[in-house]
Amino acid sequence: MIYIGCHLSVTAGYKAMGERMSRFGGNTFAWFTRNPRGGKSKPLIPEDVEALCSHVKKEGFGPLVAHGSYTMNLCSAKEETRLNGFEMLQKDLQRMKMIPGNLYNFHPGAHTGQGTEAGIRLISEALNQVMKPDMPTMVLLETMAGKGSEIGGSFEELREIIDRVECKDRIGVCLDTCHVWDGGYDIVHRPDEVLQHFDDVIGLSRLKAVHFNDSKNDLGSHKDRHEKLGQGSLGMEAMKRIALHPVLQGLPFILETPNEDEGYMEEIRIIKEWQEEG
């Protein structure tokens, strides 16, 4: 069994997100810790967060997946951008202490011309300044499509960051199906080989979440454009094989498909139907 949900808005509060996902039929969800295109974050109300924690425990939810802002770039060539990104990361992980036992996912960043080695070094240095052995949150590096100067377009690049992180038991990976396909990993025709390669390079024990998206693009396009399940180049049969793959069971699957509420509810219904079919 996998846990399934989608991205939700935090506008109405934390308890409201949990209740909304229950109405959707899901049992996990993701949310942005702050404006995904900016830096502002919604203030946390302790009673609201406690109510969410009670709800997800009662309803048997899997781990929740917070998502860092898209503007957070820990390896930019611009010092001001790096410092802003570091401040976001630091504050986000402080806030996550109020929701212990969950996951914090972020895009590693883009080196903006400095080179991959410099980018990896800057990302790992930032993580080492904020990650502590006793922190209640698992930090996840997201697999990327490799467009432009993005770091994380290959499993090897993520492994290099992990190798330099001191708190090894607090670092993991979120695998995005659209991103790995766009990055050149044939998860449609060779899912076993892709996951075996992930295990060889990073280790499946570090795979903590999946962003479950179809893609508008061809294999290896390095473009990163998500599509609704079954309507892109991965196709519904491949998405079903991935959702039912034995090594991915027990993980939270987060839909980031271009949908409104009704579309997400339908995709959640389809995935639950696959699970019932076995």
pLDDT digits (tens, 9 = 90+) for 16-28: 999 999 999 999 9
Domain residue limits at 80: 3-277
Taking CA atoms, 103 is separated from 12, 100, 127, 192, in Å, by: 21, 9, 15, 25
Structural domains in the chain (count): 1
Kindly state the helix (H) or strand (E) to which residue 210 belongs, with its residue range. Answer: strand 207-212
> Is 37's pLDDT higher than 80?
no
Residue 40 pLDDT: 75
What is the Cα–Cα distance from 96 to 98, expressed in whole angstroms? 5
Between 210 and 44, where is the model more confident? 210
Closest CA to 235 of 196, 278, 177, 276: 177
Q: Mean pLDDT, to the nearest integer, of 47-60?
A: 97
Q: Which residues face 215 on adjacent strands?
A: 226
Tens digit of each residue's pLDDT (9 = 90 or more) over 124-154? 999 999 999 999 999 999 999 999 999 999 9
Residue 277 pLDDT level (bands cut at 50, 70, 90): confident
Q: Mean pLDDT, to the nearest integer, of 39-57?
A: 91
Query: The domain spanning residue 143 has which CATH number?
Result: 3.20.20.150
- Average pLDDT of the chain is 96
Q: Mean pLDDT, to the nearest integer, of 83-108?
A: 96
